[in-house]
Amino acid sequence: MATPTTPQLTITLLGATGRTGREVLSGLLKRDIHHLKIYVRSKQKLINLFPQLLSDTRVEICEGEVTNQETMQACLSGAKIIINTIGGYSFFPDGSLQRAAESIVMALQGLRNNARTDGRKWEKPRMLLLSSSSRNERFAAARPKLVHWLIETAFQNGYNDLKLAHKAVLVDPSLVSVLFVQPGVLIEEEATGSYISTEEVKLACSYEDLGAAFVDLALERGYDELREVGVSSELGNRAARYAPIMLRKIAAGFFAAYVPGALHITNFLEGVQRLIW
Ligand SMILES: NC(=O)c1ccc[n+]([C@@H]2O[C@H](COP(=O)([O-])OP(=O)(O)OC[C@H]3O[C@@H](n4cnc5c(N)ncnc54)[C@H](OP(=O)(O)O)[C@@H]3O)[C@@H](O)[C@H]2O)c1
């Protein structure tokens, strides 16, 4: 969709140190952006990933816990676009997505109250939230029932958190306009081009394609009326390539959801892996 862009925007990005957020940040930095505020838990981690940010005058970094209202308000102040790519601990019970969503909403409410007190009109920002194709009724209905059940059951913990995050950001439509960005399985592989559609989603999306789609969805005003959108890689329907990856993830999801002590075993194995690498 070739539509007008608005370069004079202030954009706030959350989750920039994650896999999706890094791709979004790389994409934004290549574009003619005006002012980018980045919310991170660790500024050092961000700078290690993107040392060039230290000398990029367009960029402002806000550091703190996601629940810190003072920092959150400062980081959201003036933002016309909010890109939230915070990811949770998907396989295990976790409230990261919900907490982040609630904190953003609370900060926006505070900013709106301040605007009203100062006699300024509230211009509600647009928020792009990293969601999942499973949370899109049309996409979910297009799946074979058994596959849908396997996916919903395996990833129940992540989806529970995501559902609560959806609920939190939709609490007041006059406060913020939300676009749920809904990819299928996320894959570490080369980009094949992003495919953005409200009608269908393919099996898989590479992080690079997802990041590029986020940038387009944020900067092109033609997407502003959408409420949810599927994002895929152009070649995201190569079933033979993605089926083994999806099966491994589903198996990991069942392990996490139903095997007692799975979290401890996972933490232990990750610790060993870190030592080896
Ligand atoms: N995996 C899939 O196949 C799939 C498919 C569809 C949708 N999704 C969605 O994508 C998400 C994962 O995205 P991803 O792979 O890009 O994630 P990721 O690489 O794990 O990155 C997570 C990001 O969120 C931040 N974060 C995590 N917990 C936080 C907290 N409590 N407070 C503040 N920041 C926090 C991390 O910051 P730090 O660097 O400080 O830790 C990091 O920047 C999932 O949660 C799911 O909603 C996944």
Instruction: Give tens-digit pLDDT for 140-153.
Output: 999 999 999 999 99
pLDDT at site 273: 82
**5 found inside a domain:** no
Residue type, 237: N
Residue 157 Cα to ligand 1 midpoint, Å, equals 14
DSSP letter at 36?
E
Tally of CB atoms within 10 A around 119: 6
Q: How far apart are CA 246 and CA 240, in angstroms?
A: 10
Residue type, 16: A
- Give the number of the atom of ligand 1 that is nearest the alpha carbon of residue 249: 3
The CATH number given to whatever domain includes residue 186 is 3.40.50.720
**236 found inside a domain:** yes
Q: How far apart are CA 100 and CA 12, in angstroms?
A: 13
pLDDT at site 90: 81
User: Which of 47, 61, 90, 103 most suits a substitution to test ligand 1, by most atoms within 8 Å of the C-beta?
Assistant: 90
**3 found inside a domain:** no
Residue type, 209: D
Q: Count up the domains in the chain and report the number.
A: 1
Return the half-sphere exposure (C-beta side, CA atoms, 13 A cut-off) of residue 141: 4
Structural contact between residues 66 and 99, judged by C-beta atoms closer than 8 angstroms: yes
Query: Residues enclosing ligand 1, CB less than 6 A?
Result: 15, 17-21, 41-42, 45, 66, 85-88, 90, 96, 100, 130, 132, 158, 162, 183, 185-186
Which residues does 119 contact at the CB level (< 8 Å), separation at least 6?
A: none
Cα torsion for 35, 67, 73, 223, to the nearest 10°? 50
DSSP letter at 18?
S
- Give the number of the atom of ligand 1 that is nearest the alpha carbon of residue 86: 24
Secondary structure class of 6 (helix, strand, coil):
coil
Kindly report, residue by residue over 160-218, the tens digit of the pLDDT. 999 999 999 999 999 999 999 999 999 999 999 999 999 999 999 999 999 999 999 99
**97 found inside a domain:** yes
Residues of the domain holding 251: 10-276
Q: How far apart are CA 18 and CA 161, in angstroms?
A: 17
Residue 97 Cα to ligand 1 midpoint, Å, equals 8
**121 found inside a domain:** yes
Residue 87 Cα to ligand 1 midpoint, Å, equals 2
**208 found inside a domain:** yes
Compute the Cα dihedral for 50, 54, 55, 57 and give only its sign.
positive
Q: How far apart are CA 117 and CA 127, in angstroms?
A: 24
Collect the ranges in the chain with pLDDT lower than 50: 1-2
Residue 113 Cα to ligand 1 midpoint, Å, equals 30
